[in-house]
Amino acid sequence: MSSAGGSDDEEISYLYQYVPSLAAAVVAIVIFAILTIAHSYLLVKQRAWFCIAFTVGGLCKCFLLGIYLSKPPANHDIIDLQSRQWAT
């Protein structure tokens, strides 16, 4: 068993070979915010009522991405694939 800090030489195995990117989340929230503002403008100014779905969807996506950005990193969710146990 290693200490909580670990060393740089340890190899970490992820179950799904996917590690979320903070930079990609920031880019996505900026893009969704810009598009949501554009659809809100169309909704209010030009009375394009079909934009209600896009506006509500964009607001929900921005809210959920904001929650993702506010979460602390979860190092305890890493699974050791050799022993099939949760790493602590």
Q: Has residue 31 been placed in a domain?
A: yes
Q: Which domain holds residue 59?
A: 22-72
pLDDT digits (tens, 9 = 90+) for 46-62: 988 888 998 999 889 88
| Tally of structural domains, the chain | 1
pLDDT of residue 56: 92
Residue 55 falls inside a structural domain:
yes
* 5 is a domain residue: no
Query: By the 8 A CB rule, do 41 and 53 touch?
Result: no
Residue 59 lies in a domain: yes
Task: Report yes or no on 33 lying in a domain.
Answer: yes
**pLDDT category of residue 1 using cuts at 50, 70 and 90:** very low
* Alpha helices per DSSP H over the chain: 22-45, 51-70
